[in-house]
A and B are shown apart, each in its own frame.
Chain A
Amino acid sequence: MKGGKRHVVYDMNNRAAYKETSTTQKRKAVALISGGLDSMLATRLVMELGIHVEGINFFTGFCVEGHTHAIRKKDKTKPKRNNALWVAEQLGIKLHIVDVIEPYKSVVLNPKHGYGANMNPCLDCKGFMVGKAYEWIKENDFDFIITGEVMGQRPMSQRKDTMPVIQRESGAGDLLLRPLCAKKLPPTLPEREGWIDREKLLDLHGRSRKPQMALAEKYGFKDYAQPAGGCCFLTDANYTRKLTDLWGNRGTRDYELDDIMLLKVGRHLRPRSHFKLIISREEGESRFLEGYRKEFVHLKTISHGGPLALIDGDVNDNDLQLAARLVARYSQGRDADAVEIAIVDKQGISKNVTVNPIAVEDIPGDWIL
């Protein structure tokens, strides 16, 4: 051990166990990097105070990052970047991306604190992520955790009364530092031990974004991402409707990664309770859906340019006829009398049918998810 004053850092899960460290050693923090501005600012602030910081980003499957941008051509003008990686690069720190798809299911399916405006279990989600970061710092011998939370910024997880819940339920306790609003909260261990000068931390609160924008200006951050609703699709009303429809019609509240990915792609129509159609809207989506040819019956227009569609559910001949007419409606043959469509089963056996595209007025609004 290097010289200097000794500190005792308690393991929150096992208060009898502790590690001894030295003040002369550079302290290490892991920052939860979402890709948004707040965590970027919080990290920068702590780096400025002499702490070695690395980033951690959790992939739940619902993250807004990349996917649809990458698949859809219409988004070609937008940078195809992963914002968390971009933030890490701007800050000059490492980023560890952790796949939490499986353990995250219980957060989405059974949130102890319920959902926000849509299917977003933000409070449980934050507790889960800080808990995972806490496991990570123990495994990697880091000292504490930082997040970009701002008191009063979000209605569920960033309130004065819910912020301590995250500390408690994650197990991180006072190893969780929120640099942007630390002065509004009781001092954490890194502050009490003098690893960080509390006076240099901030007291931001409320929904205004002006202080963050001023800080971004000060640090010279430009072109940062500003997600409107939140960091994931669970805050999106359309997405939530499709997820609820999936569970309702399967009769079970569960999902696999492919299920939740497919909800992000294409036009979803449910003409019958026992089947749904996923119709591509452009070439990139067609190519993506093609990857599922072995798992779903699919339809493709032959006589005209058009989409590729997957059928989710067990269908009979009448259903296939209806599905073909719907696919024809979304093809370049929408105004033709007859459109030829290939119906291909999961083994790749194809049969062609010729159908009359369904009229727009014959598509009830509630078929469209």
Chain B
Amino acid sequence: MSTHHLDARRLLCPMPVIKTQDTIKNLNNGDILSVVCTDPGAEHDIPAWCRINGHKVLDINHANHDITISIEVNGLGSTPSS
């Protein structure tokens, strides 16, 4: 298990979701990804993407205008296409 960071600040949705998806593709189940974004839409979209793909949102943190979402990678390999 390892921890990874993704800076998606200034990106507008769905780019933070796409970056999260493309980063997670190269991680392993059990890894933690911490994504920092500024688009308020990401606070809704990234957890939605996690729910449908079987990953777990551990925490959402706000500091100034930064939103940090911690994700536990869980859903890799759960369907034929992953």
Query: Which residues does A use to contact B, with CB under 8 Å?
Result: 28, 52, 54, 57, 59, 63, 65-67, 69-71, 79-82, 84-86, 88-89, 92-99, 140-142, 261, 287, 291
Known: A97-B14, A140-B81. 17 other contacts (CB 8 A): A52-B80, A66-B14, A67-B13, A67-B41, A79-B44, A80-B40, A80-B44, A82-B13, A82-B14, A82-B44, A86-B48, A89-B48, A93-B52, A94-B52, A96-B21, A97-B17, A291-B10
Cβ contacts B45-61/A at 8 Å (1 or 0 each): 10011011100000000
Q: Which residues of A contact B80 (CB under 8 A)?
A: 28, 52, 140-141
Cβ–Cβ contact B81 & A80, under 8 A? no
Q: Which residues of B contact A95 (CB under 8 A)?
A: 49, 52-53
Cβ–Cβ contact B48 & A85, under 8 A? yes
Neighbour of B40 across the interface among A59, A65, A70, A93, CB < 8 A: A70
Residue of A with least CB distance to B44:
A80
Residue of A with least CB distance to B79:
A94
A contact patch SS: mixed
Residue of B with least CB distance to A99:
B18
CB B35 to nearest CB in A, in angstroms, measures 15
Interface residues of B in 24-44 (CB under 8 A from A): 38-44
Give the CA-CA distance A205 to B21 in the complex, in Å. Answer: 36
Neighbour of A97 across the interface among B18, B40, B51, CB < 8 A: B18
CB A77 to nearest CB in B, in angstroms, measures 14
Q: Which residues of B contact A71 (CB under 8 A)?
A: 12, 39
Residue of B with least CB distance to A65:
B14
Q: Which residues of A contact B42 (CB under 8 A)?
A: 70
Cβ–Cβ contact A70 & B81, under 8 A? no
Cβ–Cβ contact B52 & A261, under 8 A? no
Give the CA-CA distance A59 to B82 in the complex, in Å. Answer: 20
Neighbour of A54 across the interface among B39, B44, B79, CB < 8 A: B79
Cβ–Cβ contact B12 & A82, under 8 A? no
Cβ–Cβ contact B48 & A82, under 8 A? yes
Cβ–Cβ contact B13 & A66, under 8 A? yes
Q: Which residues of A contact B38 (CB under 8 A)?
A: 291
Cβ–Cβ contact A70 & B12, under 8 A? yes
CB A158 to nearest CB in B, in angstroms, measures 25
Give the CA-CA distance A71 to B48 in the complex, in Å. Answer: 19
Residue of A with least CB distance to B48:
A85
Q: Which residues of A contact B82 (CB under 8 A)?
A: 94
CB A227 to nearest CB in B, in angstroms, measures 16
6 A-B contacts (beta carbon < 8 Å): A66-B12, A67-B13, A67-B39, A94-B82, A95-B49, A99-B15
Give the CA-CA distance A99 to B10 in the complex, in Å. Answer: 17
Residue of A with least CB distance to B10:
A291
Neighbour of B41 across the interface among A70, A89, A140, CB < 8 A: A70
CB A232 to nearest CB in B, in angstroms, measures 13
Tell me whether A59 and B18 are in contact in the complex, defined as CB-CB below 8 angstroms, given that A85-B49, A89-B51, A93-B52 are known contacts.
yes
